[in-house]
Structure 1
Amino acid sequence: MMKSERAKFGSKLGIILATAGSAVGLGNIWRFPYMTGENGGAAFILIYIICVLFLGMPCMISEFIIGRNAAANTARSYRKLSGGTPWMVVGYLGVLTGFLITGYYLVVSGWCLEYMYASIVGHLHGDPGFFKTYFETFETDPLKPVLWALAFVAVTHFVVARGVRGGIEKASKMLMPALFILLLVIVVSSCLLPGASAGISFLFNPDFSRVDGDVFLGALGQSFYSLSIGMGCICTYASYFGRDTDMPKSAVQIGVIDSIVAVLAGLMIFPAAFSVGVNPDSGPSLLFITLPNVFQQAFGGIPAVGYVVSLAFYALLSLAALTSLISLHEVSTAFLEEELKTTRRRAAIIVTVACGIMATFCSLSLGKYDCLQLFGTPLFSIFDFFTGQILLPVGGFLTCLFVGWYLPRKLVYDEFTNRGTLHSAVFGFYMFSVRYVCPVCIILIFLHQFGII
């Protein structure tokens, strides 16, 4: 029997939108605006963009090189290029990280669906205390959050099971433009509010007096995490790249899209928040407690506008979550499909069931189930901490060392330049970044988050 040819993305636009969709997620919508507000506004944005261009991009290109050259799932790619040496563990670590992230990310994604539904039926109106009670009651409910999470993984399964071109690429070409349209609708609505200029000024007038080492490390961490580095997504998608894909150019385009979404998220949140005198919080409280209150106050005078903005916002969150979950699901699906030598649909079913079970436990751990907690910490929070604070930095660090110090320089050069000379002039800078700058920065981020430096 002839071996079937490995699936490829069908167009350059599909590559950009699918990979950008992997990078653009809930972190762009809530974490970036909050960190921007806490770290000097425009000053933080400038530092963040520099970090994306000179540190995040080299790491992304490194995963591109591994995935496209090996043309296999993340674990097999590292195993193939490492020749079976201990370096292959990095690939398995990437698959594990992506799988574990899917478990708790599905829970938050389900929350987005609940709030989109609540916006449709008109439940999101009341005083600030109402929104806090509404979220806390829903979050600890033993049934509703689980059902929404399972609904989300079912939609994700439908896309991934249809394959690379018919599922992932096709969905990305619809979801990413829709995401941008919704984002622009809310940005325009927010910026037209009375007093919105104060929020715009806050976002774009740099306050360099607040810039210190913590701000630089915060920008570094946000740039690495927002580009989906270290969780297998980039490497897996790169395995579907054609030989004509310009990887440095693609990395720049994806980084630009990711940064634009993050800045637009700031324009969506700060003008509306300043308009009603509310300071944005961080985490779930921003998305599910503060912003519903902000939208109600800001657009309460025109109910139809408030309804549209609230619905558009939670539809936006759901789309951002879906594009990221598709890539996370694909990491595990591609791994099982190739390692178990089974069909894509069967592999997708296994991943969907496993992730659904994991999401169920993570969701229930936020309720009164002590058996799903460790030292009083919910399983949900443990997954979040272990993947975000440990596995992602370790995976990114080891990937840089693998590409910068282990892989043959000629292999890296050929992949980077597409065996041409177009990017040979900046190859030296790329190698310097991957060998020295990126590993050192990742170590600094890792130590800083534990208060060691």
Structure 2
Amino acid sequence: MSRSQWGSKLGFILASAGSAVGLGAIWKFPYVTATNGGGAFLLIFLAITFTMGFALLLAEFAIGRAVASGAVGAFRALGNRRWSAIGYIGVLCCFLILSFYSVVGGWTIGYLVRALDGRVMTSDSQALGSLFGSYVGNPVEPLITHGIFALLTLLVVMSGVQKGIERAGKVLMPGLFILMLVLIARSLTLPHAIDGVMAFFAPDFTKVNPGMLVDAMGLAFFHLSVGAGCMLAYGSYLDRQTSLTQVGAWVTGLSTVTAVLAGLMIFPAVVSFGLNPAAGPGLTYMTMPVVFTRLPFGQLFAVAFFALLLLAALMSAVSLLEQLVVLPIDEWKLPRKPVTVGVTLLIFLMGIPASLSFGPWASYTFHGKTVFQLMDYASSNVLLPLGGIGTALFAGWKIWPLMAGELALPRAIEPALKWTYRVAAPCLIALIMLYNL
């Protein structure tokens, strides 16, 4: 399959950062941080992100650019059929993530509608909690918004991912960043906002345990979109002149800054209005409307926020869906449009039980986890780490000379990165996984 290239380095950086940020930074990061010791979790998360996460991001970029192929084809071309199993793990991981991610993406559509009609414009935390609970617990409406979100993702992928993502990234990422800064400025002026900042940054080291390390590692991988092959696919569109370490540093930095800003945007409001910072996936939806009610033209800000949140979610979803459709296109030379439709239909069907687990199926659990929680756990804490282990071993042992050439690192740094791929990353990831399992 012939592949185009990114139009500019900036376009690639913003598109990759948009894919990495998505809802992971704004929806997931604050509540996972809140349940894991605040600043203590943040320190560990940052350490993993800028070491193993960054190294694996570079590996995916390098493998993708070297072969200009999707994950399965790239691992097979550079290794053999056994190594292609890493690519299949990534495909399965993308399938699970996109199935529940599309449900949450649909929530942004539901809340965009509620922002337009003014239903979210209240500072009553109980009313906001009831609004969110009644929405996600409804057996029908979240499925409709899940379907609409899946359809939007389908349309982007069918019409050409590269141009769509690159153009969107240049507008949406700066827009989201600026709006977040405005909301942070307002959130920090709320009563007791400093207590929220302390709750976010103050470390509680009593919460440090292997389970917390698993959450930090899973979120770091989820946050950078590594381990599932999405960044590998994006790397396959890079030209030979682009410095992988430079763009990798920018993508890691931008996505991490956005995650920290999301915490600063949400935590002060959470504490100021007496909300529970460990409220789970609905934290963003139950917190930000409180800030909007205190802003001039608050409803306009609410509409803009949920619209940009929707578009940021779409940027991530597009990269996940592209990874899924590339497999049958590369392997069996099937046409893009029917493949994209078929895969999207499967995603929608798989998302139904995830959506219903907040309502009629909430009582159906396995080891205390709902279907939604099981899908999140399996992808973030099992499949993404497995993909990370495989990618690291592949980069460090199977294709290290190629990796060194693609990354063009100073010779003084090469031994440390080689040791990270061969020993440090696989061993640490494996130990944390085994303990948790």
Which one of 137, 162, 182 corresponds to residue 165 of structure 1?
162
Q: How does 1:110-129 map to 2 (within 5 A)?
A: 110-124=106-120, 125=122, 127-129=124-126
Please report how far the alpha carbon of residue 265 of structure 1 lies from its aligned counterpart in structure 2 after TM superposition. Answer: 0.6
Trace 1:146-225 onto structure 2 (pairs within 5 A).
Answer: 146-204=143-201, 206-207=202-203, 210=206, 212-214=208-210, 218-225=215-222
* Counterpart check, 1:395 vs 2:387: yes
Which residue of 1 is the match for residue 99 of structure 2?
103
Give 2:430's aligned residue: 443
Aligned position for 2:306:
314
TM-fit CA distance, 1:313:
3.9
SS at match of 1:278: coil
Q: % of aligned pairs identical?
A: 38
1:148 positional shift:
0.5
Q: Is the 8 A contact 1:221 1:445 kept in 2?
A: no
8 Å CA contact 2:21–2:255 kept in 1: the answer is: yes
Distance verdict in 2 for CA 1:33–1:364, change over 3 Å: closer
For 1:353-432, what aligned pairs fall within 5 Å after superposition?
A: 353-368=345-360, 378-407=370-399, 409-417=400-408, 423-432=410-419
Q: Report whether the alignment pairs 1:53 with 2:40.
A: no
Instruction: Select 1:87's aligned residue among 52, 59, 83.
Output: 83
Aligned to 1:260: 257
1:8-67 deviation per Cα after TM superposition (whole angstroms, max 9, x unaligned): 212111211111112112221243333444555445434432322222111111112221
- C-alpha displacement of 1:207: 3.8
Q: Which residue of 1 aligns with 2:340?
A: 348
Mapping of residues 259-278 of structure 1, within 5 Å: 259-278=256-275
Q: Distance in 1 between matches of 2:218 and 2:138?
A: 33
- Whether the 8 Å CA contact 2:221–2:380 is kept in 1: the answer is no
Which amino acid is 2:224 matched to? L
Closer/same/farther in 2, CA of residues 384 and 322 from structure 1, 3 Å limit: same
Are the structure 2 counterparts of residues 202 and 440 from structure 1 closer, same or farther at C-alpha, using a change threshold of 3 Å? same
Does 2:18 align with 1:21? yes
Q: CA deviation at 1:120?
A: 1.5
Q: TM-score, normalised by structure 1?
A: 0.87
TM-superposed CA distance for 1:425, in Å, is 3.1
Preserved contact between residue 19 and residue 234 of structure 1 (Cα < 8 Å): yes
Distance 1:307 1:235, change over 3 A: same
CA separation of 1:269/1:17 partners in 2, compared to 1, >3 Å: closer, same or farther? same
CA contact (8 A) 1:416 1:423 kept: no
CA distance in structure 2 between the partners assigned to 1:17 and 1:314 by the alignment: 20
Structure 1 residues 278-318: Cα deviation after superposition (integer angstroms, max 9, x where no partner)? 341242242334x15xx43x564x47554344434433432
How far apart, CA to CA, are the structure 2 residues paired with 1:288 and 1:115?
8
**20, 28, 32: which one aligns with 2:29:** 32
Question: Which residue is equivalent to 1:236?
Answer: 233
Shift of 1:218: 4.5
The 1-side partners of 2:226 and 2:345 are apart by 25
Structure 1 residues 268, 303: closer, same or farther in 2, change over 3 A?
Answer: closer
1: CA distance between counterparts of 2:132 and 2:107?
9
Deviations 1:319-360 (A, max 9, x none): 332121011011012222222313333332222222223223
**C-alpha distance in 1, partners of 2:24/2:163?**
27
Unpaired runs of at least 5, structure 1: none
Cα distance between partner residues in 1 of 2:142 and 2:366: 21
User: Deviation of residue 248 (structure 1)?
Assistant: 1.3
Determine helix, strand or coil for the equivalent of 1:368: coil
1:438 CA drift (Å): 0.9
Kept after mapping to 1: 8 A contact 2:395/2:403? yes
- Tell me how far 1:126 sits from its aligned partner: 7.2
Evaluate the alpha carbon distance shift between residue 448 and residue 365 of structure 1 in structure 2; reply closer, same or farther with a 3 A threshold.
same
Query: Is 2:1 aligned against 1:9?
Result: no
1:81 maps to a residue whose letter is L
Residues 25 and 324 of structure 1 are in contact (CA less than 8 Å); yes or no, is this contact kept in structure 2? yes
Q: Do the aligned residues in 1 keep the contact of 2:20 with 2:223 (CA within 8 Å)?
A: yes
CA contact (8 A) 2:197 2:268 kept: yes
Q: Is the 8 A contact 1:31 1:282 kept in 2?
A: no
Q: Secondary structure at the match of 2:322?
A: helix
Give the Cα separation in 1 of the matches to 2:418 and 2:138: 50
Backbone CA RMSD of aligned residues: 2.8
Q: Which range moves more in the overlay, 373-382 or 320-329?
A: 373-382
Q: 1:145 aligns with which of 134, 142, 145?
A: 142
CA distance in 2, matches of 1:307, 1:360: 31
- Cα distance in 2, alignment partners of residues 41 and 374 from structure 1: 28
Residues 175, 323 of structure 1: 8 Å contact kept: no
Q: Which amino acid aligns with 2:230?
A: C
Check whether the contact 1:22–1:325 (CA below 8 A) recurs between aligned residues.
yes
Cα offset, 1:209, TM superposition: 5.3
CA distance in 2, matches of 1:401, 1:104: 29
CA distance in 2 between counterparts of 1:77 and 1:90 reads 10
Match of 2:223 among 211, 226, 229: 226
Structure 2 unaligned residues grouped into runs of 5+: none
Alignment length (residue pairs): 435
- Greater shift, 266-275 or 30-39, is seen at 30-39
